[in-house]
């Protein structure tokens, strides 16, 4: 069964989640990944949404288009305020956060603010939303994104959300004492960060993708793991669950 780019991201994101954890998820591929994990290998996983919704379960075919609408609260365990959601992250209760990014650099810093200089930008992007809080306060963060050269630059033009800053122990020296980006899942492969330099490192390729394809679509030299693997393609069962949840293809088309 063939799959779309969003389905691929959702499946690979879901497989990275563990049972029993709490996940701070947004709409789109992160929501689909979390919901898929709950229906496969992580039934006791708890989802938190940015609007302050804790522990929802979604009606197939009626997924929320925002983290702040009441469809996102279907069968929720709690409905605290948005400030309480980030308070829980600050207190260490949120294990994994999902974010995306218009521009990501080799140290996992994310730009969702401006392209072309802050004072006179060519493009003004939506800004942080909750991404800065998520990447700063969750125990670990995963990024799901399409892999394009324009997205992966050597240095972001503006650090909206801090990854490992300039590498090494610079994140800790800045006062961010835990967390960081643990994994980036793209449409070409899966990446972690080399422990010493904290540079982005390719750990797995999706079937049919070569290292040269990744390098050609990345704006900096890609480190490659000595134990480079190949991911298993999405199964029919995983794709069937995604399409059952979202038959209108609002998020996975």
- Are 136 and 176 in contact by the 8 Å Cβ rule? The answer is yes
Catalytic residue among 50, 148, 194, 196: 50
Q: State the Cα–Cα distance between residues 87 and 69, nearest whole angstrom.
A: 20
In eight-state DSSP terms, residue 38 is H
DSSP string, 167-197: STTHHHHTT--S--EEEEEESSEEEEE-TTT
Query: In DSSP terms, which residues pair with 24 in a beta bridge?
Result: 48, 97
- Neighbour tally for 130: CB within 10 Å: 21
Active site residue 140: no
Q: Supply φ then ψ for residue 15, to 5 degrees.
A: -65, -25
Question: 56-60 contacts: CB < 8 A, separation 24 or more?
Answer: 58/31, 58/245, 60/244, 60/245, 60/246, 60/247
Q: Known catalytic residues?
A: 50
């Amino acid at each position: 069964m063939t799959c779309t780019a969003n389905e691929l991201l959702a499946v690979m994101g879901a497989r990275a989640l563990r049972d029993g954890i709490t996940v701070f998820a947004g709409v789109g591929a992160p929501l689909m990944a979390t919901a898929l994990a709950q229906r496969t290998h992580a039934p006791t996983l708890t989802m938190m949404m940015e609007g302050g919704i804790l522990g929802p379960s979604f009606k197939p075919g009626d997924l929320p288009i925002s983290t702040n609408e009441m469809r996102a609260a279907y069968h929720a365990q709690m409905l605290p305020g948005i400030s309480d959601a980030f308070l829980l992250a600050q207190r260490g209760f949120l294990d994994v956060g999902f974010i995306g990014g218009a521009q990501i650099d080799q140290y996992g810093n994310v730009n969702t603010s401006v392209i072309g200089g802050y004072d006179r930008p060519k493009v003004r992007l939506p800004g942080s939303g909750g991404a800065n809080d998520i990447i700063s306060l969750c125990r670990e963060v995963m990024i799901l994104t399409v892999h394009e050269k324009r997205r992966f630059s050597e240095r972001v033009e503006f650090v909206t959300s801090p990854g490992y800053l300039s590498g090494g122990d610079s994140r800790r020296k800045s006062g961010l004492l835990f967390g960081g980006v643990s994994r980036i899942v793209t449409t070409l492969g899966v990446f972690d960060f080399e422990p010493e330099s904290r540079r982005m490192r390719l750990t797995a390729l999706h079937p049919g993708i070569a290292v040269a394809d990744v390098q050609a679509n990345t704006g900096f030299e890609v480190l490659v793991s000595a134990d480079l693997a190949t991911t298993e393609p999405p199964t029919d069962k995983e794709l069937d669950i995604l399409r059952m949840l979202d038959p209108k293809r609002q998020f996975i088309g």
